[in-house]
Structure 1
Amino acid sequence: MTAPATVSPESSGGRPVWREPSFLRLWSGTTASGLATWALPFVLGLAVLDRALSATGLGVVLAARTAGFLLAVPVAGVLADRYSRRAVVLWAGLAAALATPLIALGLGRSVLLMSAAAAVVGAGQGACRPAFQALTAEVVDAGRRRQANAAITLAVRVTTLVAPAATALLATVLSSRTLVVGTGLLWLVAALLPPPGSKAPAPGRAGTPLLAEFGEGVREARRHPWFLAGLAALAAVVFTGYSATAVALPLVGRDRYGTEAVLAGALTAYTAGALAGAALMARRQPRAQGWTALAGLALYGFAPLSLLLPVHPAVVFAAYAIAGLGIELFNVPWFTATQREVEPRLLARVSSLDFLVSYGLAPLGLAFLAPAVDAFGWRPVLAVCALVCFSAPAAAALVPTSRHFSRGERS
């Protein structure tokens, strides 16, 4: 399906992107926001164990954070294109940093206060995502964006390991309230540390509604068939594959293997595979980037497939490692192509559409999969999930311009 990978010119010559102070500031800011994002659920989970928060309260608070994220993403995409991307990162990070202590204040006192504050934190998180994506295109030159995106996604994967472990370690000496405030300090770093972009985007037309400007970003996305096809494939994999992992993996670990170690081992293997995939994409560039990315996305189908079959736990771990590897084979070319192909003044809006669809479908998939498992059993559901994960990227690969994730023809 793809041509052999080759070492890209920009990765073998010139100054590596991680030696640039401006990129290091950007990378550190995105990493701090990732740590804050991943750490908060674990801190609140510890609060449940300490009986400072009920399980229901935890669900309400995290749902409020997700709602804030989804509501803020499209608005932030417009604002980051209308004004300075750096300014959007600053104000979004500051909003999350200032709202976080209110979560700590409400802990054990008011779930309503915690939920309202969590919604603001989620909005800050959602506003940062498209702004960071567009800011990367301003801070890093085109020849090194693949390296930059690989380094950023590598940091994201590391935070999935570091955040829970660091939280558990710090919880031995600090209270849950203190740890919650600590995530606010991380948001402060994310707000203040990133560098300014190369230029400020031109302001939007006076009096134009935000929805109309977001629609302009949607029209820009429609100009790129590879983007719509890839986004549809990603949405299908998120809706089925990710949800199968969240719902079916704990059930299979309990019912078939009789241990929670399968859940922990599979998630660890997934992260290890993702780290390997990000490291690989930082060094090597496939000739057919789009087809390689879509093939990587299809590898997620091995995750639900391994849960469907009565195999040794080691096979499940291997399947999840392959899925993690594949997801980064997709992510790095996907982000790089978006930054390269989309009109710069509309980049944040198109990125916000990407995050809105992919992140927005995750909770919907969870809501759908659980009753589907109850109604049909987890075997038919997993079979359908695996089939969708394999077939959706394959269908996207048939769309014109998908081979290279580019509207321009390449040899």
Structure 2
Amino acid sequence: MLRNVAFLRLWTATTASGIATWALPFVLGLAVLDRALTAVELGVLLAARTAGFLAAVPISGVLADRYARRRVVLWSGLTAAVAAPVMALFVGSSLPLMAVAAVAMGAGQGACRPAFQALTAEVVSEEQRQQANAAMTLSVRVTTLVAPGLTALLALFVNTQALLLGIGVLWLVAALVPPRGNDFAGAAGKPRFFAEFAEGVREARRHPWFLAGLGALTAVIATGYSATGVVLPLVSRDRYGTEAVLAGALTAYTLGALAGALLIARWRPKHAGWTAFAGLALYGFAPLSLLLPVHPAVVLAAYAVAGIGIELFNVPWFTATQREVEPSKLARVSSLDFLMSYGLAPVGLALIAPAIGHFGAGPVLAVCAVVCFVAPAVAALVPSSRDFRTRS
């Protein structure tokens, strides 16, 4: 893969977009610490970014199948890059204009995701895609591990506006560096957005393993991810009396994901689908460790196992989608993937806190753990799920 110049350019662009995506909420959080923003304003801006993301993902899926994927990445990155200095200009002075910029940055983030997925299938040969997808996720995990400290260090020397301008530069890299793909035009004639998106849905339905996996992934993210986001800080504070468990669990998860990505980059399991679903089910140990009064080391170990498992699922999942889905509809199917799995994650986050208030943390965590274990097991029962291959 290191000798594939086109892939290295694509990897650089996706890494830049990943860092920019991660950095925005962190930098805005620093603005709250500097009293340039309030906590309420931070929530408004993050909600605006999420709205832009969700609106752009299906549109981008259609456009990336209709036009050259490289062009969609270009305009997506430029949109986010232009929004960054606008946000920097109005920090602390105009929340409406910052919210508009946040919507634009979210739209740029959402629009590039399906296009990047489809572009990977264009510039990387089939036998190398698993390594390519593992390399992509490795960059994300390394960023998550290293970037908080680096950003906090930069914040000692530059202000929030400069950090936001740096995010804009990263989006410029994401827009300008990717290689050219096949430059095919997938849809001919008069543009018909809803009809073309429906074609992507029909293509997804043609692959039973994809529908089963998407359902399992959505269920795990909506429950296990929500437990991490809402319950882990409470357990760290109330049960163990320290924030170190929270920080340690998140670090253990990232290190586990790095190990999982390195493992799956070389490992070719006999039944990729069953292995992936087994990995996804490992996320159930995260809420289970929060349910039981265990030693903090057990919590850290559970999150490390969950991190390993999520990459054992992600990499074969992306690789199979790129292999099995018709190339002219790949971006639309990928947009459906991102829209359902990550798009519904905020719903889980919004519901779990009231559920804990009504039923208590114990029953909610038990349900989350059961869902994380059972949903992948049910998905694995679909015949084509064994190898992530559509039967003729």
Q: TM-score, normalised by structure 2?
A: 0.99
The amino acid across from 2:44 in the alignment is: V
Q: Show structure 2 runs of 5+ residues with no match.
A: none
The amino acid across from 2:231 in the alignment is: A
Query: CA contact under 8 A between 2:124 and 2:132: conserved in structure 1?
Result: yes
Q: C-alpha deviations, 1:57-107, integer Å up to 9, x for none?
A: 001001100100000000000000000000000010001000111111110
Distance 2:212 2:136 in 1: 24
What is the aligned residue count? 392
Distance 1:306 1:117 in 2: 39
Q: C-alpha deviations, 1:103-134, integer Å up to 9, x for none?
A: 11110101111110010000000000000000
Residue of structure 2 equivalent to 1:367 = 350
Q: Displacement of 1:19 after TM fit?
A: 2.3
| Counterpart among 196, 202, 213 of residue 180 in structure 2 | 196
Distance 1:407 1:300 in 2: 26
Residue of structure 1 equivalent to 2:316 = 333
Q: Displacement of 1:306 after TM fit?
A: 0.2
Distance 2:186 2:314 in 1: 30
Question: Is 1:256 aligned with 2:225?
Answer: no
The amino acid across from 1:326 in the alignment is: G
Residue of structure 2 equivalent to 1:5 = none
RMSD: 0.8
| Counterpart among 3, 6, 13 of residue 29 in structure 1 | 13
The amino acid across from 2:190 in the alignment is: G
Question: Is 1:92 aligned with 2:73?
Answer: no
| Counterpart among 266, 276, 292 of residue 283 in structure 1 | 266
Moved over 4 A (4+): none
Question: Is 1:377 aligned with 2:360?
Answer: yes
Q: Displacement of 1:298 after TM fit?
A: 0.2
% identity of equivalent residues: 73
Distance 1:39 1:163 in 2: 8
The amino acid across from 1:176 in the alignment is: T
| Counterpart among 114, 124, 128 of residue 130 in structure 1 | 114
Q: Displacement of 1:222 after TM fit?
A: 0.2
Q: C-alpha deviations, 1:213-240, integer Å up to 9, x for none?
A: 0110000000000000000000000110
Kindly report which structure 2 residues correspond to 1:353-364, keeping only aligned pairs within 5 A, or say none: 353-364=336-347
Residue of structure 1 equivalent to 2:378 = 395
Residue of structure 2 equivalent to 1:111 = 95
Distance 1:18 1:360 in 2: 33
Residue of structure 1 equivalent to 2:46 = 62
Distance 2:141 2:45 in 1: 24
Residue of structure 2 equivalent to 1:82 = 66
Distance 1:163 1:78 in 2: 33
The amino acid across from 1:78 in the alignment is: V
Question: Is 1:266 aligned with 2:249?
Answer: yes
Kindly report which structure 2 residues correspond to 1:144-183, keeping only aligned pairs within 5 A, or say none: 144-183=128-167
Distance 1:206 1:162 in 2: 47
Distance 2:43 2:184 in 1: 39
Residue of structure 1 equivalent to 2:208 = 225
Residue of structure 2 equivalent to 1:143 = 127
Distance 1:355 1:201 in 2: 23
Residues 79-88 or 202-211, more deviating: 202-211
Q: C-alpha deviations, 1:24-47, integer Å up to 9, x for none?
A: 110000000000011111111111
Distance 1:60 1:367 in 2: 14
The amino acid across from 2:269 in the alignment is: P
The amino acid across from 2:83 in the alignment is: A
Query: CA contact under 8 A between 1:18 and 1:148: conserved in structure 2?
Result: no
Residue of structure 2 equivalent to 1:187 = 171
| Counterpart among 10, 15, 24 of residue 40 in structure 1 | 24
The amino acid across from 2:151 in the alignment is: T
Distance 1:128 1:208 in 2: 20
Question: Is 1:240 aligned with 2:259?
Answer: no
Residue of structure 2 equivalent to 1:386 = 369
